[in-house]
Amino acid sequence: MIDYILPFIVLILVVVFIHEYGHYYFAKKYGVGVTDFSIGFGKEIFGWNDKSGTRWKICWIPLGGYVKFFGDRNVFSQADQEKIINKYSTEDQKKLFVLKPLYQRALIVAAGPIANFILAIFIFFSIYTFVGKDFTPAVINEVKKNSPAMIAGLKKNDIILSIDGHEVKSIMEVSKFITMSTDEYIDFIVSRLNQKLSFKVKPNMVLTEDNLGNKINKKMVGIQLGAFNNEVNHVKLGPVKSLYYAVNEVYFVSVSSLKYLGSLVRGKGDTSQLGGPIRIAKITGQVAEFGILPFLSIMAYISVSLGLINLFPIPLLDGGHLMFYGFEKILGKPLSQKTQEGFFRIGMFLLLSLMFFTTFNDLKDLGLF
């Protein structure tokens, strides 16, 4: 168990620190006072004060973090500015978040999720530059009898060119594109005898095990892949190409995640794949056993997820605060405190419901239900 907990804590410390540092960096840039920079919640384990008076600390519950600004009562949604102005001196007012221009407040809030995307891009960029990226074309070596692929018309020796409109540049991408597909049919474009052919494959949903031994519902089309001409093409990329593919990977993960969530809203998605901290800890520990590169990759994917989730327009999340600023821009003034508090109650209910559901899935995954 300790083998799972330590990698998870390291991952959370890095991903959360980067997220909160995004808020912190732009807060300091625009002269906002920062009193606390916390990794984790609850009682402080240890910490220190810097020269500007910020308390940097690590707390016992490593499931997030926060940056607390000077004069913070409800820092992102304070509507009653008159009371604030009367409470603080002219000098102190310069350090108050709520008195900053709207664009500065929006940048400070958005900087956390943006920092998570930048971290993921940096990790992928480093891997592609110093380790390399696979560009081995995917060839179908075998089509299972009576499988969805055979029924659709795929054949042995077909070279897979694209899946659901995504160009397949590597044999490694085939499983990823199939897994991330959210439609009933998966669109394949293959090369057969120098001709491009299109096929629609309806995958079977099969309860199986992933490479780590975890039980998952997986889309299966019934093909076995091999390398084109049995040659593996793994190359280190230059800075420009590495950056391009790193940004493209973050974009793909973000769009695919949004499509998956959209399928859940429509009632067509597989809710068993939703997991919380327990499942993340388990997978992180399993991946860490394979080495530093898989661990860094899972860190990048978690960082993308954290950045994306925090942009959802749900009060209590960064996206909720950005939503309030959108209303403020349109109306010319902040929403009333009563209205914002109503939104926060809705946001709290949604987040608690999601936490309950994902925790139930995690416990079920462990065989406790």
The model's pLDDT over 329-341, given as tens digits with 9 standing for 90+, comes to 998 888 877 888 8
Q: Taking the C-alpha atoms of 78, 82, 83 and 89 in order, what is their torsion angle to the nearest 10 degrees?
A: 110
C-alpha 150/C-alpha 201 separation (Å) is 9
Q: Which of 355, 249, 361, 244 is nearest to 301 (CA)?
A: 249
**Domains within the chain, CATH numbers bracketed:** 2-130+303-365 (no CATH), 134-235 (2.30.42.10)
CB count in 10 Å sphere of residue 253:
21
**Least confident among 113-122, 262-271, 276-285, 356-365:** 356-365
357 against 112, higher pLDDT: 112
Q: What is the dihedral of CA 26, 31, 32, 35, to 10 degrees?
A: 100
Say what the pLDDT of residue 75 is. 44
Longest dimension (CA), the chain: 79
Tokens 């055979």, residue located: 150
- Given a cut of 90, whether residue 117 has pLDDT beyond it is yes
**Mean pLDDT on 239-247:** 97
Annotated catalytic residue within 20, 44, 142, 167? 20
Residue 77 has pLDDT above 50, yes or no: no
73, pLDDT greater than 60: no
Q: pLDDT band for position 344 (50/70/90)?
A: confident
Q: Please give the pLDDT value at position 72.
A: 67
Paired tokens of 267 = 């009632």
What's the CA gap between 366 and 283, in Å, rounded? 12
Question: Is 192:157 a contact under the CB 8 Å cutoff?
Answer: yes
pLDDT per residue as tens digits for the range 194-227: 899 999 999 998 877 666 666 677 889 999 998 8
Structure tokens at 263: 């399928």
How many Å apart are CA 235 and CA 272, to the nearest integer? Answer: 36
pLDDT value, residue 104: 95
Residue 294: how many other CB atoms lie within 10 Å:
15
- The CA radius of gyration of the chain, in Å to the nearest whole number, is 24
Summarize the confidence of residues 101-114 as an average pLDDT: 95
Tokens encoding 138 = 């995917």
Q: How far is CA 220 from CA 32, 76, 173, 252, 353, in A?
A: 52, 46, 15, 21, 31
Question: Is 303 in contact with 295 (CB distance < 8 Å)?
Answer: no
For helices 292-309 and 277-288, the axis angle rounded to 10 degrees is 160
Q: Hey, is 245 helix, strand or coil?
A: helix
Average pLDDT, the chain: 86
Reported as a single tens digit per residue, the pLDDT across 81-91 is 666 667 777 78
- Whole-angstrom distance, CA of residue 57 vs CA of residue 132: 37
Establish whether 20 is a catalytic residue: yes
- Which band of pLDDT confidence, cut at 50, 70 and 90, is reported for residue 244? very high
- Whole-angstrom Cα distance, residue 28 to residue 231? 52
Grouping H, G, I as helix, E, B as strand and the rest as coil, residue 130 is helix
Q: Is 77 in contact with 71 (CB distance < 8 Å)? A: no
Residue type, 258: L
Residue with tokens 């973050």: 250
186 vs 367, higher pLDDT: 186
Q: CA 254, CA 308: separation in Å to the nearest integer?
A: 7
Judged by average pLDDT, the poorest of 137-146, 299-308, 357-366 is: 357-366
Q: Could you give the percent of the chain with pLDDT greater than 90?
A: 51
